[in-house]
Amino acid sequence: MKFIVRILSLMPIGVLYWLADWLIYPLAYYVVRYRRRMVRINLRNSFPEKTDAEIRMLEKKYYRHLADTIVEIIYGYRVSDEEMRKRVVFIYGEKAARMAQQYGGHMLMLGHIGNWEWMAEVSHYMEQFGIESTHVYRKQKSKSTNDLMLYMRRRRGGNYCEKNLILRTMVMNRKHDAPQSYGMISDQKPSAHGEHYVTEFLHQTTPFLTGTEVLSKKFGYPVYFFYIRQVERGYYTAEFRLIAEKPAETEEGYITEQYARLLEENILECPELWLWSHNRWRR
């Protein structure tokens, strides 16, 4: 599989988009029907005001974007740092960097929006301010899938930490002189027995992971939300929006609630860019 990724990554992005339009999208949507039932249920429950025709239109837009995301991730493996800086632009990043320097670190919360894999480019961005980056991930059940995921992600720089090891990693990183930046994709479904926070989200009662809130309070790191927009095909912006400068002074649940509200706002602005095929509301 790694060999296939290396070969495909050598193709121009235009050729990869052609594959997305004429092979991946029709295959996923019409032939394999990849999680179509789940996507439709999620969309209907999240947008009860939309007609069936509008839901189907949004559904197709989502699968087209999913096909684009797949080829963009492959292309990103070989793309130069110079080109990636043009494809992913960070807004208010200098303020977030100064905050990390002031407090010894910061935490970045984001969702599966746009091309979330390319957001790891923040590692290279933060390097110019002397800040080290660690991206937290959930280990895949398949070893081969997990290895391939890490193999492709490491091209964008930074360190990668499995979520069960993040506390130990943060304690060890505190010994470093460099400020730390921690990236958390926080819209995943919590485990059945884990700690979670419940709120209304897209018209549904939804549990959220609370790890980022707990860790930010423990270490005193400011918390930001990554607000992601697609400027045009293959080009994104990521805006740093401050959730809490001093997490320990916030009420319990405040940080997670603000994350849910910002994520919902981000999704409603560009719904086709979110990962609707994720089994977010299984319980």
The predicted-structure confidence for 174-199, as pLDDT tens digits, reads as follows 988 899 999 999 998 887 777 789 99
Q: Count of alpha carbons within 13 Å of 56, Cβ hemisphere only?
A: 4
| Cα(73)–Cα(79) distance, integer angstroms | 10
Over residues 254-260, mean pLDDT:
98
Output the six-digit token pair for 79. Answer: 């793309």
| pTM of model > 0.85 | yes
Boundaries of every domain in the chain: 2-76, 87-273
Check residue 114 and give left, alpha or beta (phi > 0: left; psi -120 to 50: alpha): left
Is residue 89 within 8 Å of residue 241, measured between CB atoms? no
CA distance 147 to 157: 16
> pLDDT value at position 32?
97
Angle at 7 between CA 5 and CA 9, to 5 degrees: 65
The arithmetic mean of pLDDT across residues 9-16, rounded, is 93
Q: Hey, what are 157's tokens?
A: 């720089």
209-256 confidence digits (pLDDT tens): 999 999 999 999 999 999 999 999 999 999 999 999 999 999 999 999
Per-residue confidence band for 283, with pLDDT thresholds at 50, 70 and 90? low
Is the model's pLDDT at 87 over the cut of 70? yes
Q: Is the pLDDT of residue 260 over 80?
A: yes
**Looking at the predicted structure, is the pLDDT value of residue 275 above 90?**
yes
Instruction: Give the residue from 232, 226, 231, 234 showing the smallest Cα distance to 265.
Output: 226
User: Does residue 143 or residue 283 have the better pLDDT?
Assistant: 143
